[in-house]
Structure 1
């Protein structure tokens, strides 16, 4: 693991801690599932700006795979190439109208099947490798 990877991992730990409660727990579960999908996935922090100085937790493997945002009433896992992915289990429930992006919003009490999420992440990696 490079210093940049370990630094990003620590920063994502901080994002999870700052979210706290059910949002932090949800983000931690999503993170574990994403990381377990492929050994080549790397964590990065992207898109820092004054309104979001902590940046955005992003998982990368041959391109951006997915990114996590803590919203007011949900934790969102966004797939930049989600529209190109098969989603037979209908995990995507947000940003469905766009031509590229799809997302999974989890509200308090909601869960996602981690095995199905891992399959979706693997499909996103395969799409990155095709592009």
Structure 2
């Protein structure tokens, strides 16, 4: 089951952010839900807080950079 905080689901921000990722890289495969963890030595989290505005171009540039790193 898709577990997403209620406020995220209600605002539609999760869908918007996923759409930005898909636009940046249409071949992206979501192997697990994106979330930050405190364990381990790798951080793959971007925190969006209530009321934050996502800069679509900057976010997509970040996705492009991440894809480049992961495919290098």
TM-score (norm 1): 0.43
Structure 1: tracts of 5 or more residues without a match: 1-10, 47-56, 58-66, 70-77, 79-94
Whole-angstrom distance in 1 between the partners of 2:25 and 2:3: 22
Moved over 4 A (4+): none
TM-score (norm 2): 0.70
Counting matched residue pairs gives: 68
User: Which structure's residues are more often helix, by fraction?
Assistant: 2
Structure 2 residues not aligned, in runs of 5+: none
Give the structure with the larger strand fraction: 1
RMSD: 2.5
Equivalent position of 1:20 in the other structure: 6
Report which structure shows greater RCO (CA 8 Å, sep ≥6): 2
Matched, 1:121 2:69: no
